[in-house]
Chains A and B, each alone.
Chain A
Amino acid sequence: MSLLNTLARLEAVRAGRARPLATVRHRHLSERPLVLVPLTTAGEAGAPLGALVGTDPARPRLLVVPQPRDRDLRWAFLADLADEVLPYVEGYADDVERVERTETDPETGAKSKVEAELCLDAPQLIVPSRAGIEYVRLLGRSMRFRRTAEEDPENPYPAPSRVPLLGRWFTHLGERSRVPGASMLLSATELLGRHWATGQSNLEDQHLGALLSWIVPPEGESGAEAALRAELGRDRDGQLLVPPAGPATDPAFDNKLLAPAMSRYDAARSGDDPRAVARAEAAVRELVAEQMRPAWRAVWQSLELLRTLPPGERAEERWTRDRWSYTGHRDRVRAGEPPQPRRDDAVTAAQKLATRETEQVRLDAQEALDDPLVMAGRRLSGEAFAGEVTEIVMGWTESKRPSPRPLVTVATEDRPQLAEGGGKVFRSLEGRPQAAQFVRFEEDRRLIVLRLLDKMGRGREPEPGSVPEKGDRVCWTLFEHDARGGPKLPDPEKTPWTHGGPPGSRAAAPLPDTVTDEDIL
Chain B
Amino acid sequence: MSSYPPSGPPPTTTLRQRLADLRGPAVPPRPLDARALAALAANPGCGRRALLDGAGVDKTALASALGSPSAFGQSQFAIVRGNAFEARVKGDGGAELLRLVHEHLGAGSEPPGPGAHVPDLTAAGPEGRAARTALALREATAAAAADGTWTLLDHPMLALEVAGSPAYLEPDAVVVHPDGRWTVVEIKSFPMIDGAADAAKVGAAARQAAVYVLALEKTAGKLASAVVGHTVLLVCPKDFSNLPAASPVDVRRERAVTLRQLERLTRVEELAAALPEGLSFDPARPAEELTEAVAAVSAAYAPECLAACELAFHCRERARAADAVTALGRSVRGELGTLTTVEEALAAAAGSGGTEDPTAASLHRAARLRAEALEAAACPC
Residues of A within 8 A of B (CB): 1, 3-4, 6-11, 13-14, 19-20, 23-24, 41-46, 138, 141-142, 199-204, 224, 232, 249, 251-252, 254-255, 259, 342-343, 371-373, 375-377, 379-380, 513-516, 518-521
Contact = CB atoms under 8 A, between A and B. Distances in A.
A9 B77 contact: no
Nearest to B305: A203
B76 interface: yes
B146 interface: no
Interface of B: 71, 73-82, 189-191, 193-195, 237, 239-243, 303-304, 306-307, 313, 320, 325, 327-329, 331-332, 335-336, 342, 345-346, 349, 362-363, 365-367, 369-370, 372-374, 376-377, 379, 381
Contact of A254 (B77, B242, B377): B77
Contact of A372 (B237, B325, B376): B376
Contacts of A380: 362, 365-366, 369
A201 B193 CA distance: 31
Contact of B77 (A23, A141, A259): A259
Nearest to B365: A380
B215 to A, nearest CB: 27
B377 A373 contact: yes
Contacts of A23: 373-374, 377, 379
A188 to B, nearest CB: 19
Return the 4 tightest CB-CB contacts between A and B, nearest first: A43-B78, A23-B377, A42-B75, A45-B191
A20 B335 contact: no
25 contacts: A1-B331, A3-B335, A4-B366, A7-B367, A8-B370, A13-B328, A20-B374, A20-B381, A43-B80, A43-B81, A44-B81, A201-B303, A201-B328, A202-B303, A203-B307, A204-B303, A251-B73, A254-B76, A255-B75, A259-B76, A373-B370, A376-B369, A380-B366, A514-B241, A520-B240
Contacts of B329: 1, 201-203
B76 A513 contact: no
A513 B373 contact: no
Contacts of B331: 1
A379 B369 contact: yes
A1 B332 contact: yes
A14 B241 contact: no
A309 to B, nearest CB: 9
Contacts of A141: 193-194
Contacts of B374: 20, 23, 373
A374 to B, nearest CB: 8
B172 to A, nearest CB: 16
B241 A516 contact: yes
A518 B75 contact: no
Nearest to A308: B380
B372 to A, nearest CB: 7
A58 B332 CA distance: 40
B189 to A, nearest CB: 6
Given A7-B370, A45-B193, A201-B329, A513 B75 contact: no
Given A7-B363, A203-B306, A204-B303, A44 B377 contact: no
B243 A46 contact: no
Contacts of A514: 241, 243
Query: Which of B77, B346, B377 has the most chain A CB within a 10 Å cutoff?
Result: B77
A10 B345 contact: yes
Nearest to A248: B75
B15 to A, nearest CB: 36
Contact of A200 (B193, B327, B367, B373): B327
A6 B363 CA distance: 9
A14 B327 CA distance: 13
A515 B75 contact: no
Nearest to B240: A521
A6 B76 contact: no
B362 A42 contact: no
B373 A376 contact: yes
Contact of A7 (B81, B242, B366, B376): B366
A105 B217 CA distance: 62
B213 to A, nearest CB: 26
A9 B332 contact: yes
B240 A513 contact: yes
Contacts of B81: 42-44, 520
A513 B241 contact: yes
Interface core residue of A8, A204, A343, A516 (most chain B CB under 10 Å): A204
A1 B95 CA distance: 51
A6 B190 CA distance: 35
Contacts of B190: 45
A160 to B, nearest CB: 16
Contacts of A513: 239-241
B75 A249 contact: yes
Contacts of A377: 369
Contact of B332 (A6, A11, A252, A255): A6
A232 B306 CA distance: 12
Given A251-B75, A514-B241, A520-B240, A43 B189 contact: yes
Given A3-B362, A23-B374, A201-B327, A519 B242 contact: yes
B372 A516 contact: no
B76 A10 contact: no
Contacts of B320: 224
Contacts of A43: 75, 77-82, 189
A10 B147 CA distance: 68
B243 A41 contact: no
A41 B81 CA distance: 10
A372 B75 contact: no
**Residue with the highest number of chain B CB atoms closer than 10 Å, among A14, A43, A254, A342:** A43
B75 A1 contact: no
Nearest to B326: A201
Contacts of A4: 366, 369-370
A3 B334 CA distance: 11
Contacts of B76: 254-255, 259
Contacts of A343: 194-195
A515 B241 contact: yes
Nearest to A17: B381
Nearest to B371: A376
A14 B320 CA distance: 11
Given A43-B77, A204-B303, A11 B189 contact: no
A10 B335 CA distance: 12
Nearest to B241: A519
B236 to A, nearest CB: 9
Central interface residue in A9, A45, A200, A372, by most chain B CB within 10 Å: A45
B332 A13 contact: no
